Structure 1
Amino acid sequence: MKSARREIVAVTLAVLLVAAAFAIPHLHWGIVTPLINSTPREIEMYAAAAPIFGWWNAHVGWGTIPAIMIGVGAALWGPAVAQRLPWRAVPWVTWATSCAWAFALAMIDGWQRGFARRLETKNEYLRQVPSVDDIPYALHSFSSRIRDFQPDSWITHVSGHPPGALLTFVWLDRIGLSGGAWAGLLCLLVGSSAAAAIVVAARALSGEDLARRAAPFVAVAPTAIWVAVSADGYFAGVAAWGLALLALAVRGTARLPILAGAAAGLLLGWGIFLNYGLGLIALPAVAVLIAAKDVRSALRAVVPAVVVAMAVVGVFALVGFWWFDGYTLVQERYWQGIAANRPFQYWSWANFASVVCAVGLGTVAGVSRAFDIKLIKERSGLYLVILAALLATVCADLSMLSKAEVERIWLPYTVWLTAAGALLPPRSHRFWLGLNVLGALVLNSVILTNW
């Protein structure tokens, strides 16, 4: 009964937060607004549907019916199917469902607008790919081109991230898979695989029953709106598998724990060269280590992980890119742009309204159950990782380097929050899953999201 009251309070507060975030921009309360010092055109472009980055545009597409079918099917039968499938099939089915769900949501916006052309817009990585004809030189000179208003400044998304993000799309182009559709497919496949990674990690950290209960929630999470055709979806997938491999190594469920730890270090090390914000992935990683059976198990995982991650840092340093230099310069670039016109007085709390939209009310209800002191003291792994992911979003918010667009930018952490649905009573899963699905469908259909 006490937990039920906690869920009701959490969901009520979340609804009020979202309502306030959407309503307050229309009340003209000084700097408690999404955008200042901007023209009507800029407000329309960057804050038309604040706190979500996009434009009000009620629409349907050929993805609408498949999305409804996938969402309703997952809500009605997902929990039962997840319990009955052989375990080896659960991660694969979760991944396939997540991929289909994300693609169907993208297709509500249409093939060109929702998928094939999304990564070809003027600020996206693919616009910069043709200019990279010498990869070593591009890496060596990368930091010098981060600041804005220079003749050779990188475009917005390239300058705002370490070189690993641009390198990914350059390599894709080099092997003949050029263009927005191939880039979108990479992001879709890797991003949706985060659902499988979370299920694998949940089983290693908290047992098979909890992992099976989490599967439907991560498979049809509202975060899928931003996973398809979003480089941040790709970042989230890489980070999720890094944490999953670390969990396997820590809990000794991998056949070769040291190798699993090394692979985790490779992915997490690569992750911080995809997105500066992934430095905060250290918080969920520490949560995984705290859930280790003993100190020996933790060391068996962390030593190879750290060694390999440092090797990744070393390789980038040898070719001329030092992560901390890039991080310092990207802060300058951030404040040279629209960030200066996005008041912290609004975004400091409206960011979390965006998170509520991205994870769904079912997730909010589940997160309220993660604050279980008894299970935290018992070092229950999934609880710790969920709380660490939540803490990472708080740290990102307080940094003042994440103002708006966090429904996409914080994907590496919010995808883990969606697993919190597993903490809810099984008898209520259909209801909360249905609420998440409904929220995703409405949001994707009334706002044309700028992914």
Structure 2
Amino acid sequence: MPSAEPDAVPTRAPRGFRHDLYAAGAAVLLVTAAVLVGHHIQKTSGTLLVNWPPLLASWGPHLGPGTPLAVLVAIATVVYGPALAVRLPWRALLPLTWAAAMAWICSLALIDGWHRGIAARLTTRHEYLRVVDRFHDIPAALRDFTSHILIGSPENWPAHVAGHPPGATLTFVLLDRAGLGGGAWAGVWCITVGATACVAVLVTIRALADEALARRAAPFLVLAPAAVWMGTSADAYFAAVAAWAVALLALAVTRRSVLWAGALGLLFGLTCYLSYGLTLFALIAAAVLVLGRHGIRERPALLVALLAGPAVVTAAFTLAGFAWWEAYDVLVTRYYQGAGGIRPYGYWVWGNLACAVLITGLATAAGLRRSGALLLRHRGGALTRPGGPGADARLALLVAAAVLALLVADLSGMSKAETERIWLPFALWLLPACAFLPRARGWLAAQALPALLLNHLLLTGW
């Protein structure tokens, strides 16, 4: 059990609190520039297609039934979170982290009230629930899926259905078949499953780096500003599936388990059929394989099991009539038929990064600075076995892989705006960088306050 005080500086983390503040200040300047420049562009040309750039939101100060609960969860996590994360048994820490994350997500959602905040979120004209009735014959719907993607096609799909592989829509179709139809059940599903993502990240950190770093990261994963958009967006559910795929991969390579590898392969295959952009999780998976290369070398059968799972999922969807690669090609055309063809790349290529700051917080900006410093100092030389002297560098490499995936998504031009929702799966893997920060309670407060302000001052689109 770790014995360090919760606010102590990690012994292996580079010092430099002043530089942490510089990094946080630079993040504030980026967001400020995105707001000011974005409002000017939207006012003069209207091409950003968002009312409160860089977010899809509108100005609307309000309170709600979730207000006191959100404040209470924030205060409790700031005051008690770091100490509990250090002292609780590991098996107790994981469910508590899940429960606390759910409380934070739900309370923020309920600031907008039950109906607007949760029950009606996934029933709007762009969402998946609008087409559940069109999947009464699932095999036929899969065979015909691609022909409804383009805007000019007969009965074209709503934006979110067209913009994702059918695995996303099938989730809500199957929920409906199980008697859990409607927006309320869909919202509860996304919150409940989405909150497990933080547990998956902790499991991964413990497997690849060490338990002490996972414990320090836990309160920051709970109090993530991303929770504003995780309740309720289907991307929260996608984030959890992708996170558990990475966690299973970490367990597979560190425990040399073919069973874990096979399960991971199937889950990663499902991830790619939930969202096209989540194929970029291959970059994070590659980092896990680098960190767990000893396991692959000692048991080559792991690699076969890892590749078999995605192949099975791909074969199943392809034989059912849906070709992922053909649909993606059509989707690119649809993207530029709509908002993607109007929104200026020159603004969003950096405005998206301001969105990333808003969903990950100022503490993450400071943590990323420390992660970068660690990698520069170690230059890969300390990437030894889990729990060894290079545990901090191992975590820094995992975070760097998530940063790279996010940057590739940004530069692709297929993520212009709305990245406060779209990038939720990647954002969760940036938050562990906060494990390197001293003064945990102060940085947690810096995470919670902007999230509370955003959710009370703006009416967010998700």
How far apart are 1:137 and its partner, in Å? 0.5
Residues 126 and 284 of structure 1: is their aligned pair in 2 closer, same or farther, counting only changes over 3 Å?
Answer: same
Which residue does the alignment assign to 1:153? Answer: 156
- Structure 2 distance, partners of 1:71, 1:15, is 21
Segment drifting more, 299-308 vs 130-139: 299-308
How far apart are 1:375 and its partner, in Å? 4.4
Q: Does 1:347 align with 2:344?
A: no
Q: Does 1:162 align with 2:165?
A: yes
Deviations 1:267-300 (Å, cap 9, x if unpaired)? 1110000000001000000011111151425745
Which residue does the alignment assign to 2:114? Answer: 111
Which residue does the alignment assign to 1:141? Answer: 144
Which residue does the alignment assign to 1:239? Answer: 242
Which residue does the alignment assign to 1:387? Answer: 400
Q: Does 1:176 align with 2:179?
A: yes
Which residue does the alignment assign to 1:305? Answer: 306
- Structure 1 distance, partners of 2:32, 2:184, is 35
How far apart are 1:27 and its partner, in Å? 3.4
Residues 94 and 375 of structure 1: is their aligned pair in 2 closer, same or farther, counting only changes over 3 Å?
Answer: farther
Q: Does 1:203 align with 2:224?
A: no
- Structure 2 distance, partners of 1:173, 1:81, is 39
- Structure 1 distance, partners of 2:394, 2:176, is 40
- Structure 1 distance, partners of 2:369, 2:299, is 28
Residues 13 and 37 of structure 1: is their aligned pair in 2 closer, same or farther, counting only changes over 3 Å?
Answer: closer
Quick one: which amino acid aligns to residue 250 of structure 1?
V
Aligned partner of 1:69 among 69, 72, 78: 72
Structure 2 SS opposite 1:73? helix
Q: Does 1:434 align with 2:445?
A: yes
Quick one: which amino acid aligns to residue 400 of structure 1?
G
Structure 1 SS opposite 2:435? helix
- Structure 2 distance, partners of 1:450, 1:298, is 47
Residues 337 and 287 of structure 1: is their aligned pair in 2 closer, same or farther, counting only changes over 3 Å?
Answer: same
Equivalent residue runs for 1:258-269 within 5 Å: 258-269=258-269
Quick one: which amino acid aligns to residue 10 of structure 1?
A
Structure 1 SS opposite 2:415? coil
Unaligned runs of 5+ in 2: 1-13, 384-392
Which residue does the alignment assign to 1:318? Answer: 319
How far apart are 1:383 and its partner, in Å? 1.5
How far apart are 1:37 and its partner, in Å? 6.0
Determine if contact 2:201/2:247 at 8 Å carries over to the other structure: yes
Quick one: which amino acid aligns to residue 363 of structure 1?
T
Structure 2 SS opposite 1:233? helix
Quick one: which amino acid aligns to residue 362 of structure 2?
L
Determine if contact 1:36/1:341 at 8 Å carries over to the other structure: no
Structure 1 SS opposite 2:25? helix
- Structure 2 distance, partners of 1:327, 1:197, is 28
Equivalent residue runs for 1:56-135 within 5 Å: 56-135=59-138
Equivalent residue runs for 1:380-419 within 5 Å: 380-419=393-432
How far apart are 1:66 and its partner, in Å? 0.5
Determine if contact 1:257/1:300 at 8 Å carries over to the other structure: no
Residues 25 and 173 of structure 1: is their aligned pair in 2 closer, same or farther, counting only changes over 3 Å?
Answer: same
Which residue does the alignment assign to 1:290? Answer: 290
Q: Percent identity?
A: 46
Determine if contact 1:363/1:421 at 8 Å carries over to the other structure: yes
How many residues end up aligned between the 2 structures? 436
Aligned partner of 1:12 among 25, 30, 35: 25
> After TM superposition, what 4+ stretches of structure 1 lie above 3 angstroms from structure 2?
33-38, 297-302
- Structure 1 distance, partners of 2:44, 2:413, is 15
- Structure 2 distance, partners of 1:225, 1:291, is 32
Residues 368 and 376 of structure 1: is their aligned pair in 2 closer, same or farther, counting only changes over 3 Å?
Answer: same
How far apart are 1:330 and its partner, in Å? 0.7
Which residue does the alignment assign to 2:386? Answer: none
Q: Does 1:447 align with 2:458?
A: yes
Across the aligned residues of Structure 1 and Structure 2, the Cα RMSD in angstroms comes to 1.6
Structure 1 SS opposite 2:64? coil
Residues 447 and 200 of structure 1: is their aligned pair in 2 closer, same or farther, counting only changes over 3 Å?
Answer: same
Deviations 1:187-234 (Å, cap 9, x if unpaired)? 111111001111111100111100100110001101111112110000
Structure 2 SS opposite 1:448? strand
Quick one: which amino acid aligns to residue 263 of structure 1?
A
Which residue does the alignment assign to 2:387? Answer: none
Unaligned runs of 5+ in 1: none
Quick one: which amino acid aligns to residue 421 of structure 2?
R
- Structure 1 distance, partners of 2:82, 2:301, is 35
How far apart are 1:370 and its partner, in Å? 1.0
How far apart are 1:382 and its partner, in Å? 2.0
- Structure 1 distance, partners of 2:298, 2:36, is 50
Residues 317 and 14 of structure 1: is their aligned pair in 2 closer, same or farther, counting only changes over 3 Å?
Answer: same
- Structure 1 distance, partners of 2:359, 2:244, is 21
Residues 205 and 34 of structure 1: is their aligned pair in 2 closer, same or farther, counting only changes over 3 Å?
Answer: farther
Structure 2 SS opposite 1:55? strand
- Structure 2 distance, partners of 1:279, 1:298, is 25
Q: Normalized against structure 2, the TM-score is what?
A: 0.91
Determine if contact 2:164/2:275 at 8 Å carries over to the other structure: yes
Deviations 1:62-87 (Å, cap 9, x if unpaired)? 10111111011111110100111111
- Structure 2 distance, partners of 1:90, 1:331, is 43
Q: Normalized against structure 1, the TM-score is what?
A: 0.94
Quick one: which amino acid aligns to residue 355 of structure 1?
A
- Structure 1 distance, partners of 2:336, 2:58, is 24
- Structure 2 distance, partners of 1:215, 1:334, is 37
Determine if contact 2:39/2:53 at 8 Å carries over to the other structure: no
